[in-house]
Amino acid sequence: MFYWLYLAFGAHQYVPVLNLLKYQTTRTSLAIFTAWFVVTLLGSRFIRWMRARQGKGQPIRTDGIERHVIEKAGTPTMGGVMILAGLFAAVLLWADLTNVYVWAVLIVTAGYGVLGFTDDYAKVTKQSSAGISGKLRLVLEASIAMAAVLLIILAAPKPPENPEILTSVTFPIFKQYFVDLSWGYLLFGAFIIVGAANAVNFTDGLDGLATVPVMIAAAAYGLIAYLVGNFVFANYLQLHFVPGVGELAVFCGALLGAGLGFLWYNAPPAKIFMGDTGSLALGGAVGAIAVATRHEIVLGIIGGLFVAETLSVMIQVVWFKRTGRRIFLMAPVHHHFEKLGWSESTVVIRFWIVAVMLALVGLATLKLR
């Protein structure tokens, strides 16, 4: 909004300092602070309000870690509402609201947030760990994702030297090589977004475990968006230039700030869980940003922790159905390490370290030829 006012009314002519608003770096910094401030300000009041209305809080899996059933019982969920409040406030205040990429990612974030909220509400009211039907949720997730990808394909500006980039899959290291999927990209992009959302959802099982890796991924993709959306930097690094996508750096900043605010209350021992409201929305947002920047494959590296968590569940289910035995003591894999005797804080911090290292490897591909 402020960027639009800056352009519409030319206030910078009378207040020169407002010229700073034309820089994405400035607005990204302001988005980080704004999102953090909103979430931190809302936190205590929102937690008290949710605790009063949720009674027993989020249902804890009775087949899981025994101490979790005791320690985490009564902790309210739907903390994702706090994150989304800070995120949306910051984006709407500081991002360029005429930018199609901003709206595409907002559509995914809001749609998945509503879907996750519905799932959380069903769990709390029924006091069951099973929410809405898995098949129905996947259909709705895919529909939202396809709508966002379609918006990008139809409305995003096309670089004149490479107009097919909007429907193409690019690859790290092999920077000049890409595969144009044409309208098939609609399905591919939706797969990336849905996969990312559910991968973060699987990871959200311990206090702070999903929050920090999402923040790390947001920081990494904020840098990628800024570089890919800048013709000079993209040309120097031999990346595919995607005009307009640099504005997503502001969105990534808002996501980082909202995560910082939420971590204040979600750090062990958590006062509130983000629930599906947060995990689906944040995972979907990261997936949508990966699609918008045309760095979908790199998401498998930067979000490698989420990939590992998802694969552990898939492997466990397939192997158990085939043999009746389990590979992991418990899936997702973070529970496997708890079963081995690791404390919750040890698992969480070590997984954070892994997420940082994977993000650095992913960013290194920007310079590799």
Q: Which of the residue ranges 97-101, 130-134, 294-298 would you say has the lowest mean pLDDT?
A: 130-134
Residue 247: what pLDDT? 96
pLDDT at position 293, please? 95
Query: Higher-confidence residue: 33 or 71?
Result: 33
Instruction: Please indicate, yes or no, if residue 45 is contained in any of the structural domains.
Output: yes
Query: CA-CA distances (angstroms) from residue 180 to 17, 164, 167, 177, 291?
Result: 44, 7, 6, 10, 14
Would residue 137 count as lying in a domain?
yes
Mark residue 75 as left, alpha or beta (left: phi above 0; alpha: psi -120 to 50; beta: remaining): beta
C-alpha separations of 245 from 14, 194, 196 in Å: 30, 20, 19
Write out the two tokens for 213: 């890796």
* Whether residue 331 has pLDDT greater than 70: yes
317 part of a folded domain = yes
Which of the four pLDDT bands, split at 50, 70 and 90, describes residue 67? low
Question: Does 97 score more than 60 pLDDT?
Answer: yes
Asked if the structure places residue 253 within a domain, the reply is yes
Lowest mean pLDDT among 65-69, 132-136, 259-263: 65-69
Best CA proximity match to 4, nearest among 17, 16, 20, 22: 22
> Are 193 and 286 in contact, with CB atoms under 8 Å apart?
no
**How far from chain centre, in Å, is Cα 288?**
8
- Mean pLDDT, the chain, integer: 88
Q: How confident is the model at residue 63 (pLDDT cuts 50, 70, 90)?
A: low
Over residues 221-239, the pLDDT tens digits come to 999 999 999 999 998 888 8
Residue 369 lies in a domain: no
Tell me: pLDDT of 304 over 90: yes
175 vs 14, more confident: 175
- Structural domain including 89 reads 2-364
Given a cut of 70, whether residue 139 has pLDDT beyond it is yes
Q: What is the distance between the alpha carbons of residues 321 and 176, in angstroms, rounded to a whole number?
A: 43
Q: Is the pLDDT of residue 300 over 70?
A: yes
CB-CB contact of 4 with 92 (8 Å):
no
Of 22, 2, 6, whose CA–CA distance to 14 is shortest?
6
Note whether residue 323 is domain-resident: yes
Structural domains in the chain (count) = 1
pLDDT at 56: 55
Choose the weakest-confidence range: 24-33, 40-49, 58-67, 337-346.
Answer: 58-67
In a domain? residue 56 = yes
User: What percent of the chain is modeled with pLDDT above 90?
Assistant: 61
Residue 75, pLDDT score: 83
Q: What is the per-residue pLDDT for 173?
A: 81
- At 71-85, the pLDDT tens digits run 566 788 889 999 999
> Model's pTM, two decimal places?
0.91
